[in-house]
Each structure stands twice: as C-alpha cells, then as structure tokens.
Structure 1
Amino acid sequence: MSIEQLPDGRWKVDVEPVKGRRFRKTLKTKAEAQRFEATCRTLCVQSNNWAPRPKDRRKLSELVGLWFDLHGISLTDGLRRAAILRASCKALGDPVASTVDGAKIAAVRARWMANGVTGKTANNRLGYLKAVYNELHKLDVIDYPCPFSRIKPVRLQERPLAYLTKPQITELLDALKARSTSPHPALVARICLATGARWGEAQALRPDRIRGNALVFANTKSKRVRMVPVTAELVAMIQQHWKQHGLFTNCIGVFRQVLLSTTINPPRGQASHILRHTFAAHFIMGGGHIVTLKEILGHASLNMTMRYAHLAPEHLNDAIRLGPLTQL
C-alpha cells in the first residue's frame, strides 16, 4: 500500500510510479499524502527526470553567503550589508531560512529597539533580510518567496530638514580655514554648497571631471553621471588647490570635528549632509524650480526632492492668499 498511517497519527507515502523511481515522504494529514502520491505519479509520467525537491534545510547564514557571492559582491556597499546580515543571523539564532516568519522577525526587532537601535536602523536591517530572500528567489537558488514579506517596517516620524543660514555658512567656512588640520575640507565643503553634491562625490573629483565651468559627478549613489554648472572662480580655485596640495583625500573626519567646534548644532546624522540640504533649501527659497533641483541633486524620484517644496516662497504666499480667512 502506498499510503499508510503511522502510530503517531502522521501519514507515510511510499510510491513507485515507474520502476526504479521510488519516493517516500511523511505528511501530517491523509489528504496531503494523497495529493503528494498523485503529484508524483502524474509528474513522473510527464517527465522521467522529475523528482520532488527535498525540504530546504539550509541555515539563514548559508543564504546570506550565497546572496553575497551571487549578488552582494557587485554592490557598492556589499561588504557592509553582508556584515549587518551576519549580525542579524546571529540575533535570530541562525535558524533554518525557510522557517523564519514574521513573528520571529518582529521579536528580534523589538529586542533591537529595546536596546536603543533606532527605527530607521531596524527598518534597514529588515529590508536587507528581505532582499536576500527576494534576490535568491529570482535567481532560483530557493524555491520559496520571502516568508515574512507581509511584516511592515516601523513607521518613522519625519524629521525637519536642517540647513545653514548665510551667517552660519560664513562661520563654517571661516572655521574650516582657521582650525582644520587638512587643507582639503574647506574647499570640499564649498563644492558641496555650490552644487548640492554629497561629500563623497565632491571628495572624489578629479581633473578629468571638470568640463569647462561644470563639475561632473560620476561616483553617485544613484549610479548616474550628472553635470552641475559652477562659477569660473570656483573652477580656478579647485585647480589652484590641486597644484598646491594635490587631489582631495578622505577628510570627512576633520570636517566633523571643525563643525562641532562651531555654534552650529546639526541634527544627528546630518553632519556633511547639511551642506546638501543647504544648497537645496537656498535654491528653492531663491525661486528655483523643483524639477531642476531634482536633476542637480541626482534624485531618482521627484518624491525625494519634494521634501524641499515647502521652502518655496510662492508656497508660503499661497498659505496667505488661499487661506480660509482671506475672504472674510
């Protein structure tokens, strides 16, 4: 008999649809056992090479290793993500990957946040884990989708974007000239303020990326090359600086130290990024178009740029012109 009940109540299937092709499996219910037997018989008739896949018992850490070898290694921040994923595996107890569910993820996320991990960091870790399953599923390394795809990220309170006023810009540039232990941060900061570039993009500038009176940023977060016009005076300043001091080196640490020594109190996590926000804020307040700003900043989506829309002067005037008390 191909189906029989075991003493513990489970049902054992022992079927040999064709000579030499024998399949055994233990299932919880008789209906599942009957479906498995029928599937084996049908698919063996359709294809002599078919065999049911054994249950995937690989650990989560094994999938992380496969993800890095097949996909993560090609990412700019692949090594950093792999380290975060390995730590997440450890926090979860490195379970069998197919058994990870929403309840396990929610429990470890709660522990993280109880230990002081921010909601944004917890969401990033959750997103990285989902990406492992999704990418390996697309590559046919696993035959099941992400088992916790329905768990939602923590809803975060949006923070107001900080930017520097013109007196603060002057204070910062003066401090970088007077107190910096490196000649580079003052000019890198000036480039960020003039173009809205990220610190890493400005720091990576090379002579071949100056095209007339424009700077070309090629090492961008969105992987797109973009060109931003600047003044002839800034181009001359950059070229003269390189002649005297050489190309820019990694000087973000010096910039942060000098910034903290000023009266400026940037929000947490917005040290060098406050320069990018400053460019965007002054651009919009000066009457610049939001779509033009999107292209200058290199945002992939206009939704990112819309964070600055409330700073437009016409936006503020409309609050007065169109308000409910205007007609009274």
Structure 2
Amino acid sequence: MAKEAGIRKLPDGRYQVDIRPDGRGGRRHRRIFPTLREARYEKNRILARADRGEEWRRQKKDTRRLQDLIDAWHRLYGITLKDSGNRKRQLDFVCGLLGNPVAASFHAEDFLVFRNARLAAGISANTCNHYLSYLKAVFNRLIKLDNWKLPNPLQKIERLKFDESNITYLETGQIEALLSELAKSSRNTLLITKICLATGARWSEAETLHVEMVKDGLIHFVGTKSGKKRSVPVDDELEREIKENRKGTGRLFIGTHIKSFSSGLRRAGIELPRGQRSHVLRHSFAVHFMLNRGNILDLQKILGHSTLDMTLRYAQHHPDYLADAVTKNPLANLKKN
C-alpha cells in the first residue's frame, strides 16, 4: 500500500496523524489512532477546519476557579460600576459559601443545592435572587469579553418568585417620637433624618451631601443609585437649618451616623422588620406623599425611579386608590334600582 501523506504506520500497527494544517511553518498536529480509518477521519477533519479558517487546535482545559473569574470580571469590567466595591464583596462572599469550585466544573445543580441550603437557613428569596443575578452577570460579561469559552452554567436558572412584602413606614406619631429622641443626642443624625423624610432620599444620599448641593430651595442629589442627578425642593426652614449646620464647602456630615439613627429608633420604641432600617425613611416619605393625595408621576421623579412600576407599589396608599370599586360593582347597581 502506498504511503499516505500525513499518516504514518507505527511499528505496533497503530497509525499516527502528523500534519501542519497552517503550512510548513505552522503548528504541528499529531495524534495516534488504532485504525487507518480513524486516522484518515482525523486528518481530513483538521484540514477541513483549517481550510474554513476555523480553530482546529485543541483548547487547553480552563482550570481557573470561580474566584479567579470573579477577580477577572472585576478587573476587566466590575471596577467601572458605581457600587463595584460592594458588588465585589458580595461575590467574594458567595464564592466562599460555594467553596470556590473549579469554574469549568460548576454546574446549575451546584447553585440550586446552595440556594436551597441558604433558603433553609432563613435567607430571603430576594437575597438569593441577588446571588443568582450577580453570578450570572460574571459569566455573561466574561463570555462577551471572550474571557470565558464555555456556556454560562446558570443561564437557565430562573429567579425565585415570592410574595411582595408589606411596605414598612413610620406613622406621624412615630416620626414625632423619633425626631424628639434624635434631638436629644445628635444634631447631624436628626438633620439627615429630616432630609430623608422631606425628600425621600436614601440614607446614603443624604449622609454624603455637600454644602454646595443645597441652594435656592432645592437639594441636588448626585452620585445616586441610578447614576442620575435629581433635585427636590425643600422649605425655607429646612434649607436654613442645613446651611447653619456647616459653613463653607465640602461634606455636610462627617463620618457615618446610621448607628446613631438605630439608637434613636430603639429609644423611640420603634421596632422594624429585618433589613428595613435604612429604607424606612424613604418609604415613609413615599407613603405619606400618597396619603396626602400626591401625584404618582411626581413621586417617581422625586424618588428617581427609572420605571413607574417601581413607584406603583405606593399607589395603594392614595385615599382614592380603586375607590370606584365601591360605586361601580353589581351590588351598587342593585341599590340604585
């Protein structure tokens, strides 16, 4: 039998494919097969891929661990996010709980087992959804950057559905008691609380305000969660109180004051569900705004929500919310007759 180019019969009867698909100076491809038929198939397959301009070399196995992918994601993309530090800490935390597996061996089932364990430990479905979204985003971004060649192992996992919790807000009497307690302990904490109640600002937005952001009857919030600037009007008394708190320029409040706020809540006898402390003032503003017949579209702009759906959760507190149900039901028709 004539010798076939690119295939050599070995002394033990096996056949070795030995070709350079990219030409004489190109990379060499060698593999051994038990039969000539298998060797020919391999030779033709590799040469055909090379002719089509496709990658024919066997890819090296990706041995990186999940933490390596998280670090790569943060270095290449995550660092540009507004909350990059917090996101990285949460991803590192989840990675630790998962045991930092080899990423190529990390499958959907692994995450589902982990999620069920977290739910059994009392972690909320919403928090577990955050875990899923953050990890999905890591794989999706690295795939887009051509840094990860395999599919996203979490792509087909859906977010958990759960009943929306009731909005926790402070009633008028509770607000009075809280302001009274804060007035006894910390002027800065009292003023931050007032700003949140008057504008619907997040605690972090109010706490990091600069003097120059308060002028002409408006508080200008920048560096917000959405990244968009928004301006909210305040009355003369609050503007004067803010400007008297600190002269010149720079931050209005030095340091952090959330612990002082928590202490004020306890002294005022206000108990809140877990995780509601920092948002209760924002919720209180929104609920009282609607109770006072405020416009839902105005509320959306004040809160800086990107979609109206985010604001509609407060609509139920409007006095006229679904009021037509009383007069336009079939029993009401019977009464008219």
- Fold similarity call, TM over 0.5: yes
Match of 1:106 among 94, 112, 115: 112
Q: How many residue pairs align between the two structures?
A: 313
Q: Does the residue aligned with 1:303 lie in a helix, a strand or coil?
A: helix
| Structure 1 unmatched ranges of 5 or more | 4-11, 27-31
| Structure 2 unmatched ranges of 5 or more | 8-14, 33-37
Provide the C-alpha distance between the structure 2 equivalents of 1:13 and 1:235, rounded to a whole number of angstroms. Answer: 84
Provide the C-alpha distance between the structure 1 equivalents of 2:206 and 2:80, rounded to a whole number of angstroms. Answer: 23
1:255-275 deviations in Å (ceiling 9; x for gaps):
011112213222221113111
Which residue is 1:61 aligned to?
67
Provide the C-alpha distance between the structure 2 equivalents of 1:211 and 1:311, rounded to a whole number of angstroms. Answer: 32
Q: 1:135 offset after TM fit, Å?
A: 1.1
- In the superposition, the TM-score normalised over structure 2's length comes to 0.83
The 5 Å alignment of 1:1-328 reads 14=17, 16=19, 17=21, 18-19=23-24, 20-23=26-29, 40-47=46-53, 51-178=57-184, 180=185, 182-243=186-247, 247-249=252-254, 250-328=256-334
Provide the C-alpha distance between the structure 1 equivalents of 2:41 and 2:211, rounded to a whole number of angstroms. Answer: 68
2:78·2:84 contact (CA, 8 Å) conserved in 1?
yes
Q: 1:188 to 1:317 in 2, by over 3 A?
A: same
1:256·1:272 contact (CA, 8 Å) conserved in 2?
no
1:283-309 deviations in Å (ceiling 9; x for gaps):
112221111111100011111101111
Provide the C-alpha distance between the structure 1 equivalents of 2:110 and 2:196, rounded to a whole number of angstroms. Answer: 43
When Rg is computed on C-alpha atoms for both structures, the one with the higher figure is 2
Q: 1:49 to 1:170 in 2, by over 3 A?
A: closer
Provide the C-alpha distance between the structure 2 equivalents of 1:152 and 1:184, rounded to a whole number of angstroms. Answer: 44
Which residue is 2:11 aligned to?
none
Provide the C-alpha distance between the structure 1 equivalents of 2:39 and 2:101, rounded to a whole number of angstroms. Answer: 27
Which residue is 1:29 aligned to?
none
Q: 1:218 offset after TM fit, Å?
A: 0.3
Matched to 1:54, the amino acid is: K
Provide the C-alpha distance between the structure 2 equivalents of 1:325 and 1:93, rounded to a whole number of angstroms. Answer: 61
Higher mean alpha-carbon deviation, 13-22 vs 157-166, is at 13-22
1:44·1:51 contact (CA, 8 Å) conserved in 2?
no
- What RMSD over aligned residues (CA atoms) do the two structures have, in Å? 2.9
Q: 1:269 to 1:87 in 2, by over 3 A?
A: closer
Q: 1:105 to 1:294 in 2, by over 3 A?
A: same
